[in-house]
Chain A
Amino acid sequence: MNLLEIKNLTANIEDKQVLKGINLTIKPGEVHAIMGPNGSGKSTLSKVIAGHPAYAVTGGEVLYDINFQMKNLLDLETDERAKEGVFLAMQYPIEVPGVSNFKFLQTSLNSILRHQGSTEMEDPEFRVFLKEKMKIVQMREDFLDRAVNVGFSGGEKKRNEILQMAVLSPRLAILDETDSGLDIDALRIVADGVNKLRNKNNAILLITHYQRLLDYIKPDYVHVLANGQIIETGDASLALKLEERGYDWLVQ
């Protein structure tokens, strides 16, 4: 059974059409990469799947497996999508002054656990749980008392996104340019973290400009998005080809 089926998806920001008929199918356990030139609609696609209010969907559907039934994600609020296991690691993680990372992560996880009918985690239990997850992205403990993303370096912000992914264990994780702005060490830590979180039940959609990330996280499929449509799909070798030849040979 598929995890995600995007069919003829079109979307606007303000009056400008950005997505012009996207079709994409993802199965559990798969890693897909979406590459493409600037302004092709990559970030828009990720935000539309997650439910950002600035984008208006004008056509098509985004079907997603909820309890073995394909439901249209577009009918759900952003938080309801998150509760069903959709996660977006943002390109520019937002600062939340005055709210500690610990409290933020705990509130997020508990709202999802509550939705699933599971027991919520109290402070001590959550702290133990969190410590394990922090190892995945090599976070120090003092980081938990700091306000969410406030005063974080670019690398820390991106690691924080992956920590959130580790805590929330999404079924569909979309990583929007998680590699941008990272030095090679930070990239390795982040990629390593993502690989550890990969399993046969979840799927990952990587949005990236650079083939470099794909050296660390091996995709099953690579798609090229240009001018709001997927114009080419291949395996990992397609990324290498793009690295060599650019996009021009595809976009005519």
Chain B
Amino acid sequence: MSGEYKYGFVTELETEDVPKGLNEDIIRLISSKKNEPEWMLEQRLKAFRYWQTLEEPHWAMVDYPKIDFQDLRYFSAPKKLPDNPKNLDELDPELLKTFERLGIPLQEQKRISGIAVDVVFDSVSIGQTHTETLEKAGVIFCSISEALHKHPDLVKKYFGSVVPLTDNYYAALNAAVFTDGSFVYVPKGVRCPIDLSTYFRINAQETGQFERTLIVADEGSFVNYLEGCTAPQRDENQLHAAVVELVSLENAEIKYSTVQNWYTGDKNGKGGIYNFVTKRGKCAGKKSKISWTQVESGSAITWKYPSVILQGEASEGAFYSVALTHDYMQADTGTKMIHIGKNTKSTIISKGISADHSVNSYRGQVKILPSAENARNYSQCDSMLVGSNSRANTFPYIEVKNKTAILEHEASTSRISEDQIFYLQSRGLDIESAISMLVNGFCKEVFKELPLEFSVEAVKLIEMKLENSVG
């Protein structure tokens, strides 16, 4: 199956790296390379010192050798990058070619889709598209490094407000060494005129990627945000530890969609990305909304729980997830819905598909605090097994501290059977269409939440990955 990973190539580029290892000097070096304000460096050091006191967590259903954090490189950037590329044509042609191979043409004349893209290559953001359209609407969409200089007050106000530096092991590590990522601010009452998207690419060897995304939707605004990612095929494991924070103010809505397709490792489980990610949104204002939609189809190991803190009255959180594991992949993913405000509502729909020798676990928490009068939650967790060597687990945690809460939970486990495929084939569908129909049916409630072009991509991705596992 690894042979089918068409994003597994490496771009030959001259890079500017920091030496391997993790210590305060490295952190100072990263901060100075990015010319950061003093407060940010202090935050980094605080996070680093805290991180050093922590133990790596082992509660997830994933198994991997101990990571040597001193053997990683924490910063790598393409050398020929101008300081402030005003124009994408100033970029190294090799980089432009890379993104064309990935199906993301960056040059203005080649762009047809109405999506603004920020691309993060290893440790740095290399440029955005559609900047004019966004400027007209007053939407800020830039790299977080740029935002630190141009919009320091906004960044300072919201950075770490949802995922504190001390949140967990990987979030603390990220806060210490994060290199870049996207920043979005949608002003009051603005409906972002186009979808925003960040594309993450790990290229360099022995380098971790630690990006940081911060999205703030001010009162009454709306934004649709898409995230995609790929990495070369390498024999050693690579670490990706990102943090994403969303803030939705009164009557605002953020829809965040991910199609995660990091390299999974080969057929025998060699190589692949460790994807240890903290994603959390805060519905801070009244009637605010946040939804996470994810298609997790890559990475050797995934450890990820996009969550929503429902603080504002009548705010709504949703989590729609399809997680596919195959070969020797391990995924432990789910969500947390923390109900604080009155009349808050959350929806969880999780679809896990496990094939070959993989392990796929759903882990979710619904927490209703005493202040959350009339909270509602609906959870549905379905697992589909393909073949007889894969495993699926469901770990739902429910904590209710207010008697007016109403919670519903449904769960199921099914199997794609030879008989199902035979049935569809005997009606004239070839094997690919048959699998596609079965998987689509299984994931329907999640796919319909994705923007159209993403949903087409997601369906294709999952079909391709399952082809070898069925039958």
Contacts and interface: CB of A to CB of B under 8 A. Distances in A.
Contacts of B102: none
Interface string B256-270: 000000000000000
Nearest to A82: B428
B426 interface: yes
Interface stretch (A17-25, A92-100, A177-185, A235-243): A92-100
B414 A97 contact: yes
Given A97-B441, A98-B442, A104-B437, A82 B427 contact: yes
Interface stretch (B26-34, B233-241, B415-423): B415-423
B429 interface: yes
A168 interface: yes
Contacts of B444: 98-99
A5 to B, nearest CB: 21
Contacts of B442: 97-98
A233 interface: no
Given A50-B422, A79-B426, 7 more contacts: A53-B418, A54-B418, A79-B434, A87-B426, A90-B423, A164-B427, A168-B428
A52 B414 contact: no
Closest 9 interchain pairs by CB? A98-B441, A78-B425, A99-B441, A108-B427, A94-B423, A82-B428, A98-B444, A111-B428, A79-B425
A36 interface: no
A108 B422 CA distance: 13
Interface string A92-116: 0110111100001001110110010
A93 B422 CA distance: 11
B424 A96 contact: yes
B402 interface: no
B33 to A, nearest CB: 49
A144 interface: no
B428 A115 contact: yes
B96 interface: no
Interface of B: 414, 417-420, 422-431, 433-434, 437-438, 440-445, 471
Nearest to A115: B428
Nearest to A98: B441
B441 A51 contact: no
Interface in A152-202: 164, 168
Contact of B441 (A87, A96, A111): A96
Contacts of A96: 420, 423-424, 437-438, 441
A112 B441 contact: no
Nearest to B443: A98
A94 B425 contact: no
Contacts of B425: 51, 77-79, 82
B151 to A, nearest CB: 44
Contacts of B422: 50-53, 78
A209 interface: no
B414 A112 contact: no
A147 interface: yes
A88 interface: yes
Contacts of A164: 427
Contacts of B430: 77, 79, 111
A147 B426 contact: no
A174 B445 CA distance: 35
Interface residues on A, range: 20 to 34
A83 B430 CA distance: 10
A97 B414 CA distance: 10
A93 B434 CA distance: 15
A197 B443 CA distance: 36
A50 B422 CA distance: 9
Interface string A52-76: 1110000000000000000000000
A94 B437 contact: no
Contacts of B443: 98
A44 B471 CA distance: 19
Contacts of B437: 96, 99, 104, 107
Interface in A125-172: 147, 164, 168
A159 to B, nearest CB: 16
Contact of B426 (A51, A98, A104): A51
17 contacts: A53-B422, A77-B430, A79-B425, A82-B425, A82-B426, A82-B427, A82-B428, A87-B426, A93-B423, A96-B420, A96-B423, A97-B414, A98-B440, A107-B437, A109-B428, A147-B441, A164-B427
A54 B430 CA distance: 17
Nearest to A114: B428
Given A96-B420, A96-B441, A98-B444, A107 B433 contact: yes
Nearest to B437: A99
A180 B356 CA distance: 37
A2 to B, nearest CB: 22
Given A93-B423, A94-B423, A98-B442, A107 B471 contact: no
Nearest to B384: A97
Nearest to A86: B426
A96 B422 CA distance: 12
A115 B424 CA distance: 16
Contacts of A107: 429, 433, 437
Contacts of B429: 79, 107-108, 111
A166 B471 CA distance: 29
A49 to B, nearest CB: 10
Q: Which of A78, A99, A108, A111 has the most chain B CB within a 10 Å cutoff?
A: A78
B428 A83 contact: yes
A97 B437 CA distance: 10
Contacts of B423: 90, 93-94, 96
Contacts of B434: 79
Contacts of A78: 422, 425-426
Contacts of B428: 79, 82-83, 108-109, 111-112, 115, 168
